[in-house]
Copies of this chain bind each other. A is one copy, B any other.
Amino acid sequence: MLRGEITTAIRAAVMQELAEVGYGRLSIEAVARRAGVSKTAIYRRWRSKLDLVLDMVSAVAGRNLPLLDTGSLLGDLEILLHVMARALRHRLASQIIPDLLAEAARNPQIAEKLQAALDDYQQAVGRILIGRAVERGELSPDTDPRAAVDLIVGPIYWRLAIARAPLDTAEVPRMASAIVAALRVACVRPVRDEVEV
């Protein structure tokens, strides 16, 4: 039987290494060093670096955030933004997530895993958050969940993960209300007659 403590140590070390050097430069040797463990211990548990990372992504991405129902779209959005802000402010997360997303652009296996997690997330946001708002009559039933997710998640991700500028707590309600306004306008489902450019 594999010792759980060591598996845990390896997992933690992978997170640290991933944040520090990224997936591209992640080496089994460095992980083993940091975890205070032998390489064999790692190879016994995972076949390769890809396996290792994919496993961790599954574990982390598996957690589906509970979208609280505050009774209004604005309230729901504020909570969602606060949760996202909290997650993206973590040093490890804010380094690992963009790194893996970039890696996904060239690694089909990672892309698949991340896409699955992302789809789950987007579907949850779209169906639950938007769904509720539609039921309440706050949004048109025609609202395209796909486009809605872009409007909701894009700004805060850009701010915290790309521009890496601080986001004051006081700004969240303002951002939320702006998004509500945007969602009310973006109610037309995409037209399919046009040619993609």
Q: Is the CB of B165 within 8 A of A197?
A: no
Chain copies in complex: 2
**Residues of B close to A159: CB separation below 8 A:** 150, 154
For residue A177, which residues in chain B have a CB less than 8 angstroms away from its CB?
185-186
Q: Is A163 an interface residue (CB 8 A)?
A: yes
Complex contact A98–B106 (CB within 8 A): no
Q: Is A179 located at the chain interface by the 8 A CB criterion? A: yes
Complex alpha-carbon distance, A162 and B163, angstroms: 14
Are B163 and A147 interface neighbours, CB within 8 A? no
Contact with B along A99-112 (1 / 0, CB 8 A): 10111111000010
Q: Are A196 and B166 interface neighbours, CB within 8 A?
A: yes
Chain B CB within 8 A of A37 CB? no
Question: Measured between C-beta atoms, what is the minimum distance from A15 to chain B in Å?
Answer: 14
Residues of B within 8 A of A170 (CB): 190-194
Within the assembled complex, what's the spacing in Å between the Cα atoms of A102 and B122? Answer: 22
Q: How far is the CB of A158 from chain B (nearest CB, A)?
A: 4
B-side contacts of A155, CB under 8 Å: 150-151, 154-155
Are B163 and A122 closer than 8 Å at their CB atoms? yes
CA A3 to CA B10, docked complex, whole Å = 49
How far is it, in angstroms, between the C-alpha of A95 and the C-alpha of B165 when the chains are bound? 23
What are 11 of the A-B contact pairs (CB < 8 Å)? A19-B106, A95-B102, A98-B98, A98-B102, A99-B105, A118-B162, A151-B155, A153-B154, A168-B191, A174-B188, A178-B182
